[in-house]
């Protein structure tokens, strides 16, 4: 494996500018229609791949740029900033969760089979953890993978699965030995075209409307031992090791979205007239904007610090939890304050701020709720 390619600040800005132009041309004209349809076309994945915006820190031997995680964070930040929350969520699951699981835990055959086509966008990745009766409590999952000769037979159900409708490969959490609790959990890479696998309905959500979020069903799905990801019985430990990146990239998206909301609101309050003057001239407006800007900068500083720690292999689970907790709670406050500054127009769907507001609510829930984040942070302070 070659060393990670470090880009200069100028190169990062050129990449950021290229992404902005792509979003303006290939996403902005169509996004409202995708939101109404509650799914974007699968061809968008290949457009993202062809333009180099998927799995950028995958090594070049598997088709990636071998770039730093910093470049991947730029992608999620800018998509979130532009107000495409569902797209940011789907891309981050694909590039910052599924691909790293396969890269870090997979055998060579798994890497060669899945990663190049994930980089190109030909294959879409999803991760199957949450079940109807097991959300944050991963040890309560019921989906089983029972050994049968040299194979494993999977039965069970997953829900709230981002990219579920488009998925070609799923990193699936199962119980291979239910009696062993956490030590009986195993991850598999599951081909979504196998017999017995079925995609359920595309779930209707409060926000992130164009992002496909699905139920998944497994009925006697047969996989081989070669599909085990990271070792039998090692699933829970592997999940815990990979979750910090997931929570960090969520924090990056939260900050990006908050910046986008502030920019959108600044444009509005400079133009909107009340009592013969732009509402930006009122002290209340100015003080709210000052508070928002300060909160964004504080969270941006924290996420940038933790991005550096992640790149250096130093980020802890507690730190990632702090970033996710702080940034997601901040995003919710900013969304509420910005809608308030828009007044009645902020409640209208034709104004992008209303979409920002709806998309923000899930950030305090998925990837670990704020309550779970607080529990994990507290364990670093006072133990279990």
Element counts in the chain: helices (H) and strands (E): 12, 10
- Distance, CA of 206 to chain centre: 17
Residue 172's nearest CA partner among 127, 133, 115, 111 is: 127
- The SS3 of residue 171 is strand
Give, for 95, the enclosing helix (H) or strand (E).
none
User: What is the residue-wise DSSP string for 267-324?
Assistant: HHHHH-EETTEEGGGSHHHHHHHHHHHHHHHHHHHHHHHHHHHHHTT---HHHHHHHH
- How far apart, in whole angstroms, are the C-alpha atoms of residue 247 and residue 310? 11
Residue 257's nearest CA partner among 368, 357, 370 is: 357
Radius of gyration in angstroms for the set of CA atoms belonging to the chain, rounded to a whole number: 21
Which residues are catalytically annotated? Answer: 246
Residue 260, token pair as written in the block: 């986008």
- How far apart, in whole angstroms, are the C-alpha atoms of residue 102 and residue 47? 22
Give, for 41, the enclosing helix (H) or strand (E).
none
Burial label, 372 (beta-carbon count in 10 A; 0-12, 13-18, 19+) = middle
Give, for 46, the enclosing helix (H) or strand (E).
helix 43-50
What is the maximal distance between C-alpha atoms in the chain?
A: 79
* CA distance to 29, 124, 125, 201, 221, per residue, from 191 (Å): 33, 11, 10, 19, 10
Q: How many CB atoms lie within 10 A of CB 306?
A: 23
Tallying the residues shown for the chain, one arrives at 384
- How far apart, in whole angstroms, are the C-alpha atoms of residue 251 and residue 330? 10
Phi, psi of 123 (to 5 degrees): -110, 145
């Amino acid at each position: 494996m070659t060393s990670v390619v470090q880009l200069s600040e100028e190169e990062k800005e050129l990449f950021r500018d290229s992404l902005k132009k792509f979003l303006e041309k290939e996403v902005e004209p169509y996004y409202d229609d995708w939101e109404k349809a509650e799914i974007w076309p699968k061809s968008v994945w290949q457009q993202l791949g062809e333009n180099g915006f998927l799995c950028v820190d995958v090594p070049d031997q598997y088709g990636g740029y071998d770039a730093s995680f910093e470049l991947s964070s730029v992608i999620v930040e800018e998509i979130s900033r532009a107000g495409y929350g569902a797209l940011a969520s789907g891309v981050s699951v694909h590039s910052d969760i599924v691909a790293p699981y396969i890269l870090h835990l997979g055998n060579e055959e798994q890497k060669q089979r899945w990663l190049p086509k994930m980089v190109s966008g030909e294959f879409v990745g999803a991760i199957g953890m949450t079940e109807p009766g097991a959300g944050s409590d991963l040890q309560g999952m019921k989906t089983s993978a029972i050994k049968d000769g040299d194979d494993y037979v999977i039965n069970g159900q997953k829900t709230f699965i981002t990219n579920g409708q488009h998925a070609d490969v799923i990193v699936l959490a199962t119980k291979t030995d239910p009696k062993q609790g956490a030590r009986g959990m195993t991850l598999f890479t599951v081909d979504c075209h196998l017999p017995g696998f079925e995609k359920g309905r595309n779930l209707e959500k409060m926000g992130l409307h164009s992002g496909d979020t699905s139920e998944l069903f497994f009925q006697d799905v047969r996989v081989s031992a070669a599909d085990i990801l990271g070792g039998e019985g090692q699933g829970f430990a592997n999940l815990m090791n990979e979750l910090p990146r997931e929570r960090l990239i969520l924090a990056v998206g939260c900050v990006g979205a908050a910046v986008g909301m502030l920019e959108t609101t600044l444009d509005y309050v400079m133009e909107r007239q009340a009592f013969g003057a732009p509402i930006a001239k009122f002290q209340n407006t100015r003080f709210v904007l000052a508070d928002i800007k300060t909160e964004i900068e504080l969270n941006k500083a924290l996420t940038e610090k933790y991005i550096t720690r992640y790149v250096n292999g130093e980020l802890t689970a507690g730190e990632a939890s702090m970033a996710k907790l702080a940034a997601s709670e901040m995003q919710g406050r900013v969304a509420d304050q910005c809608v308030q500054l828009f007044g009645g127009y902020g409640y209208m769907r034709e104004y992008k701020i209303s979409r920002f507001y709806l998309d923000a609510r899930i950030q305090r829930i998925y990837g670990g709720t704020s309550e779970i984040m607080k529990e994990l942070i507290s364990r670093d302070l006072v133990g279990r």
